[in-house]
Copies of this chain bind each other. A is one copy, B any other.
């Protein structure tokens, strides 16, 4: 196999060449941001195992060694990208105008959720399908998103204070999140209904489920 000459020798060679490609130096933050962006793109449209570190290094026009200087393992790079994707989604959903009526709050949140997902479908799938099975850090990110979304949708609802810590209620909230995820993915795949119809369905289900999960005593409180 052909082996590149060592650095010093090569420099001489390159200096003899007109218009040689100068080595590009970026500062820490710029380089890190560039690599993260490339990683997000790569991991969003290929499976984890189908993305090689060499690919990303090549796209960034840097050596693999430098990439490892910024992200000590492939997993770290992946998780860092995933965290950004997760943060974007949570950001989109939580930055909905406050002081709406409870049901409109939910509507607005779900609108933001569906909107964000349609605009970043691949990233969403790579987030929720959890590219690496059973990696604790990945699981932590995904769980974090679920918890934050659950909080967002439930905390301002009238029934929430009555039920904090109630096992049935907590389980139901988690379940509703599962409902939303699966219904959304199904919707992405099959396109069976309009986005507005889906949003209304999810809102109705949210209130319907919560009513069903309440201990009977509290039910009159609701509607």
Contacts and interface: CB of A to CB of B under 8 A. Distances in A.
Interface in A45-63: 47-49
Contact of A131 (B134, B170, B177, B213): B134
Contacts of A193: 167-168, 171
Interface residues of A, number: 42
A198 B178 contact: no
Contacts of A205: 172, 175, 209, 212-213
A197 B172 CA distance: 12
Nearest to A129: B133
A125 B139 CA distance: 12
Given A133-B48, A179-B178, A186 B171 contact: yes
B208 A211 contact: yes
A46 to B, nearest CB: 8
A138 to B, nearest CB: 9
Interface of A: 47-49, 125-126, 129-135, 167-168, 170-172, 174-183, 186-187, 190, 192-193, 197-198, 201, 204-205, 208-209, 211-213
